[in-house]
């Protein structure tokens, strides 16, 4: 058998995390029922979690910007307000 180096190109980064046994078993069952790999499930869950929580940082930064303005200065143009409201997804609960 020839001896050498096998080059492998992976599509992602491997990592190890510790999670409770019950959560792992639930995730395994869910992934199997959905016909997806464990990696696909964890990547999808992280992507959704990060997207949901990125907005929190934006809100905090905007609050800090507008905190020093008086009531007159912080009024939103009605046309801009309507455009912003119309751009929100319908399923968001406010």
Q: Classify residue 88 by its DSSP letter.
A: S
Cα–Cα distance for residue pair 48/40, rounded to 1 Å: 12
**pLDDT over threshold 80, residue 55:** no
Write the DSSP assignment of 37-79 as a string of letters: -HHHHHHHHHHHHHHHHHHHHHHHHHHHHHTTS-TTTTPPPHH
Output the CA angle 69-74-77, nearest 5 degrees: 160
CB 15 within 8 A of CB 26: no
Q: What is the pLDDT of residues 13-31, one digit of tens each?
A: 888 999 999 999 999 999 9
* pLDDT at site 79: 87
Percent of the residues in the chain that have a pLDDT greater than 70, as a whole number: 79
Give the pLDDT band (50/70/90) at residue 87: confident
Mean pLDDT of 51-74: 75
């Amino acid at each position: 058998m020839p001896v050498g180096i096998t080059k492998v190109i992976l599509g992602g980064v491997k990592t190890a995390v510790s999670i409770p046994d019950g959560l792992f078993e639930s995730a395994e069952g869910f992934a199997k029922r959905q016909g997806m790999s464990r990696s696909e499930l964890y990547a999808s869950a992280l992507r959704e979690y990060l997207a949901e929580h990125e907005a929190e940082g934006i809100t905090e930064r905007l609050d800090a910007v507008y905190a020093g303005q008086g009531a007159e200065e912080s009024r939103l143009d009605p046309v801009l307000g309507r455009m912003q409201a119309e751009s929100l997804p319908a399923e968001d609960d406010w």
